[in-house]
A and B are shown apart, each in its own frame.
Chain A
């Protein structure tokens, strides 16, 4: 009983670590030339020197930009508790100017214990923001604006960016604008008037190196020896983990997985899956866990879809494939039916399905998104006349047919011969 609880506690600890980016990115921020140190230096110097600043954090999605920024902000809030207030916006939520100003004033009000009016107009809000910037500047308080998904703010008139950066041109204000984006060309999206007011400081976030990766894995997966989890168990767990981490097979798994996407968050998803497969009976991670996780997370959705199809649906797919080979530039359900009938006649297939059954199977294929209509406007045309196309390559179809259980031999032949 006690053992079971321990294992569960350990599992919970691992899972909550994986869901907590600030824990994950902690060890990567020690070294003096890490992004963490650079970012912290820039912000803290602009806080202490009471100047305005702007900076862009760029890097692929999931490379930990926000996590590192949060770490920095947390430290700075501890260091200068009264000198900083943070306003966070996200391009996904506040790309609309009106919305953005409203949210800025709402957060400013919450920060400074002021009453926020929902009814305030766009103008009121933008004036309020500029006034607050001035007031805070006079009180030597820095406002840090974090703009997540920065590229989305650069859509449209960029009024938010302009008024923020323009307000920062005056001596009295004291603010830092931090843009976070996964588009490396984010600064090229800015209008001229905005770009000229933007300092072109950029921090690039790169995927971790091999050594970092190893360190990261160890950091995340090993249990603390000095906690509520029983000491003996933790030591044993860590010893087994070390063995796995050193295993060549494990390294190979990680390399295959990271091939497609080398960011840290991508790795976290894999680890999360592997950890949740941990055997609660033995209570230790095994290489098997990682193997199953890899096979379950790397999916081939189109092939799965083909495996789900019924035989009739496969027939229709093959017919469409044949039409494409014949270089018919566009075809619809009627021509598919014609092809189906001719195949049936020339190979003396015994089974016969009526027109409406085939139409229904065609609709199932549409639903599975193995095929789609080539035009999206023809709403007033009935299904059988709208031109369609395959969404899978002939290679995929061939592979799918081969791996299909009890696939009729005739279909494979029809695919191969390509008459």
Chain B
């Protein structure tokens, strides 16, 4: 999330990665000083901050107010709002604007309490992992109790350091109980903590951290995707002060996309066409930006000069050029994962574009866009059949002749009452593909391969049909099975309580299975039992 305002956000990645791994900003191994706790680049003015985040004026001003003057203490804040609404970027840029020391750790990269604690401590103790210290953290700390002790120590060190500095320089030194500079701890992606093993103790601990530390010089900021009410537990805690970031409105989105555009008039007329229909699906900046990039290129195709200012007539012409593209691309919006670096994204973008063009030309493509060995394909098909067909029908489906007798099937379905059929359909929708034991899968696999080889033999009168399908293939098949499991085509389920053996389930959808069957020229529908 939050790479919409691309130029400034680069710092964030280096920041979080420097805490999690080695410092990415090359090996200029200057010792970290206390100054490294601030943002690092030149501070920006409030106006720059406001203009770089269109549609976020209210939130930014509110945050500035809540953070207050440089030495005033603060109650914990809780910033929440949907993903890709600029929470993290704004908080980080805010600290760039304020030029105050902070410690940022995201619960996504720091995926366990220990890593989270150590990342916070490393940053506070100005410790950088490198080859010299064997990539170890400054302190080893697993329990919240140790963390609090270390944190208290480190924080008071840092704060004293600031106090000493400001005293030496003789800059404004305030009188009163709360002098000295503030240090802010930012915990991002807090919603992920709920999934952790020890979430029931870690969450109340984090929320109560302010009361436990009892240090007025520490400000806590929590950033989360989900609203505060999703954190309620029977434990209870002091609620932090909520700050809400609503999703961008259509006007905000227009402003965001208009930023950094070379030909604003042209882009604006482009947005007139696409923004509304896309906003009906999603208002997330990351998803929209990936969808708009290829569309805009398409839009510009008839133009020779990209700097041209479009007039009404040209707008109409461009619109009619783009019009047929919109509907298919609406249904393609979410193909590309949005969490990639800009470079990789542009790569993907081109790839996606080409694939889309293909889609545009011929609606159905028979080709699979990945490679798979023939036996793996057969295995996939047999897993699909095993999941869809009831086990009791296996014998009749795969008898010596192969294929179900169509007459028999017809009679069967006519016997069923309509209601019953509907119920069964409903059940299929609800339950999804069934599970099957390994033995059944192998049996069906053998049947399929023997049928296929038979047909090949008939066609080509080949002489290799004798071996294969039998014992020799087995170890190979198991290997293929495990790689299919790894590719998530087949899932290994829990073991059946009665039989005690592992059961499998195919997750492949019917279109996909038909595609695979087509590539093998295998008559899949013949074997598929339709309810």
Chain A positions within 8 Å of B, measured between CB atoms, are 8-9, 11-13, 15-16, 18-20, 61-62, 66, 90, 92-96, 99, 102-103, 106, 182, 228, 265, 268-269, 272-273, 276-277, 296-297, 299, 301-302, 304-305, 307-308, 310-312, 330-332, 334-335, 338, 351, 353-354, 356-357, 360-361, 364, 367-369, 380-382, 384-385, 387, 405
Contacts and interface: CB of A to CB of B under 8 A. Distances in A.
Contacts of A364: 282, 284
B177 A16 contact: yes
Contacts of B211: 66
Contacts of A332: 429-430, 432
B54 interface: no
A272 B282 contact: no
Nearest to B83: A367
A302 B149 CA distance: 38
A305 B227 contact: yes
B75 A18 contact: yes
28 contacts: A11-B68, A12-B69, A12-B72, A12-B174, A16-B72, A16-B73, A16-B176, A16-B216, A19-B73, A20-B177, A61-B236, A96-B143, A106-B149, A182-B236, A228-B175, A276-B66, A296-B62, A296-B242, A299-B227, A299-B228, A301-B230, A307-B247, A311-B281, A312-B282, A332-B430, A364-B282, A369-B230, A385-B430
Contact of B334 (A12, A182, A305, A357): A357
Contacts of B284: 364
Contacts of A307: 246-247
Given A16-B178, A93-B212, A382 B432 contact: yes
B225 interface: yes
Contacts of A228: 175
A11 B330 contact: no
A361 B279 CA distance: 12
B281 A11 contact: no
Contacts of A268: 75
A272 B430 contact: no
A367 B279 CA distance: 18
Contacts of B109: none
A299 B282 contact: no
A386 to B, nearest CB: 8
Contact of B178 (A12, A61, A182, A297): A12
A102 B208 CA distance: 22
Given A312-B280, A382-B507, A385-B432, A301 B212 contact: no
Contacts of B238: 61-62, 265
Nearest to B144: A93
A288 B74 CA distance: 21
Nearest to B212: A90
Interface string B406-449: 00000000000000000000100111110000000000000000
A312 B492 contact: no
B145 A99 contact: yes
A354 B331 contact: yes
Contacts of B227: 299, 301-302, 304-305, 369
